[in-house]
Amino acid sequence: MYLTQDEQEQYAQILFDTKGLADEALKNTLENTFGTLKGYELYKVTSDTKAFILFSALSWDKNKQTGENISHIAGDNITSILIAMIGLVGWEAFMATILVDTGLKSVGIDLGTISEKAYNNGISASKISDIETNNFKKLPSDAKKAMTEQGIYPGGPKWNSFIMDQVKRQNQTSSTTQRINARINFIGLDELSESGTRDLRDLTILNDFSIYKLEGYSSVDSYYKFTILFVSDYDLVIEDIVDLECCVRVRDEINSLNKKEIYGRVFKIKEYSVVGSKRVYEVVLVSPLHYLSLNKRYEIYMDKSVKDIISIILGRYKALLGIDLVLKVDNLKYPIRHYTTQYAQSDYEFIKMLCEEEGLVLLSDYSSNNPYGLVLCELNEHAVSCEGIEASFFASKKFALSNYSEDFYDYLKPSVDMQTTHGKNLEFDTYKDNSNTKQLRHDLQYEILRDRLELYDGSNAKDLKRYNEIDAQRGYSSSIKVDGVSYELSMRDGISVVLNDTKLLQEKEVIILSVEYQGFFPNALDEYKEDDKDKTQYFVQFSSIVKDHIYRPYKTITKPRISSVQTAIVSKGDNNTKDSANEIDVNHLGEIRVIMHFDYNRPTSCYIPLSNIYSGDNYGARFLPRVNSEVIVSYINGDIDRPIIIGSLHNGENKIPYPLPQTKTQSYIKTQTTPQYQDKEG
């Protein structure tokens, strides 16, 4: 971004007039003054950085010291680091030259660039300060003493200068190694033009666009999503582009082997701006899985394992969205589920819930020829090994409870105590607990009473133990993270990689969990300017776990609960209930099958329990609902997978045996042979 002298004066005057209100009015003023694209960029720089606060600090109270105003308004550590970049005296002198009366005369400095650099350097300085503080604490006493004598210690007089030297060194390293080119093209747009539906000119030239800006996010726990600004020499027909497949290619012009490709669908396209003779468009590129988050379905899956259910759902979209699933799970570790219900959930939400329950992830299969290939697996066992990546990184540890005690009531074995505990002494080889953490981990406990289990290796108890271990590992895996920044195109989620920090001379083998992508490519609008060519064009921020720590996805999807009752129709194994009306279908436990109204496929459920008015050891009462009868269904603990029949109803086909209100005094229990009795007064 470049501002002429006149534009700098306009920008400074606008900052002075707005007096600290970063609102829609400021955005409109900047866009009206500088044009939509540049105005929006200025607004982002202004609202995202300390520039606004710093300018306003002087205009609000000139009687106080600049530093006091800034500290009072900003109230954080980054501000002091920003001031340290040029020194407080230098900043005051700079501001004083601007604040000549109210005219704010410019001194010929690009204020937007200063603000942007200050913010980026401030963020880097904050992270580096944390790293260097930890390193300082680990130094031998002699080295620590020598640095202290020089004033280089956390909070010392030369500490900020030391940190900013590290920032400059980092910027020099990153800025001199990047020459990135990014382009986007839309798959099928050429064919659309050839079909005659639109006159899109020569698409062999048109369908290859320069990217101006790229932002995105990908994670082992969710689908990827990118927002992209691209430039076109021609007007595009946006309705022809929405929902097309597209490909983003990011390439290092210095090292042609260093490249990245991102495939997805255009979920949204927006006419963004006009710059000179060029058109700027914004597209939102998503994984095909995003479309599975838009629907809502009801379905009962009987006698299916989790991998079977996920395979069935994704298989429906293979032709429509190109999704291809590879199963890399041990069949013996994931038992057949007797009854699993998708209730008012999108397909993606339901799949994600199942993965979280079982400790599984859906990874993008980068080894597949299909860019939309997915792998269902345990992350630690199937993270793709990659070559080492250069990155700045730092570790963090917090206490996370891992001691889980779980129990289950098995109504077929009501006297059996199934309680099991795991995780009170859970530990791995790296980042071991200190004595305080060990005591907390041992004594604090999370209790769970499970609503349902399956026969795992012939035993409910083994299934309970399996879930207990998954929950304990899930709890522990949230305690330690390795986060960082990298400028390499090969960084992505779901890989196992050795991070190499050349500045701090440290390495760490990790599994990447999530990545935030940032790309800025100024040559999309013009040739490289002298001011822009050394800017960092592409970098990512990532989060990871140490490789030897077992990862289980966190539970973000709440299983649907039903706190009320529903009705259903009794069946005998098919959905044609009228032809079999009044027949009895029951198993040895006195359970019956029904058809739930919410399942559009209208399958017969598995056998579900039936409550009685009186039950005991070899005694009780029994009235079995017959086929085509309407029954009332409740759910144990509200669990949609634990239905129980608690009563029955008459309906339009199953009539009341005696007319009302004429027979309102008659009370009866009527079967084919049992008479009623009169209950009339007198």
- Looking at CATH, the fold of the domain delimited by 561-682 is given as OB fold (Dihydrolipoamide Acetyltransferase, E2P) (2.40.50)
Check residue 155 and give its pLDDT.
74
Please choose, from the candidates 583, 577, 506, 598, the residue with its C-alpha nearest in 3D space to the C-alpha of residue 546: 506
Domain ranges of the chain: 5-175, 180-288, 291-384, 399-478, 561-682
Strand ranges for 62-137 from DSSP E: none
Burial class (CB in 10 A: 0-12, 13-18, 19+), 338: middle
At residue 174, the 3 state secondary structure works out as helix
Check residue 327 and give its pLDDT.
93
- Residue 85's φ and ψ, nearest 5 degrees, are -60, -45
172-186, 468-482, 533-547: the lowest-pLDDT one? 172-186
Residue type, 656: I
Q: Which residue has the tokens 């819930």?
A: 353
The second-level CATH assignment, the architecture, of 291-384 is: 3-Layer(bab) Sandwich (3.55)
Instruction: Please tell me whether the peptide bond between 661 and the residue prior to it is cis, using omega within 30 degrees of 0.
Output: yes
Token duo for residue 95:
């501001």
Check residue 679 and give its pLDDT.
59
Residues 296-345: tens digit of each pLDDT: 999 999 999 999 999 999 999 999 999 999 999 988 888 999 999 999 99
| 15: confidence class by pLDDT, cuts 50, 70, 90 | low
Q: What is the rounded distance in angstroms from the CA atom of residue 238 to the CA atom of residue 241? A: 5
The angle at the Cα of 542, spanning 540 to 548, to the nearest 5 degrees, equals: 145
Residues 560-617: tens digit of each pLDDT: 999 899 999 999 988 888 888 889 999 999 999 999 999 888 888 889 999 988 888 8
Q: What is the rounded distance in angstroms from the CA atom of residue 181 to the CA atom of residue 204? A: 19
| 205: confidence class by pLDDT, cuts 50, 70, 90 | very low
At residue 124, the 3 state secondary structure works out as helix
Assign domain 180-288 to a CATH class.
mainly beta
Higher-confidence residue of 458 and 560: namely: 560
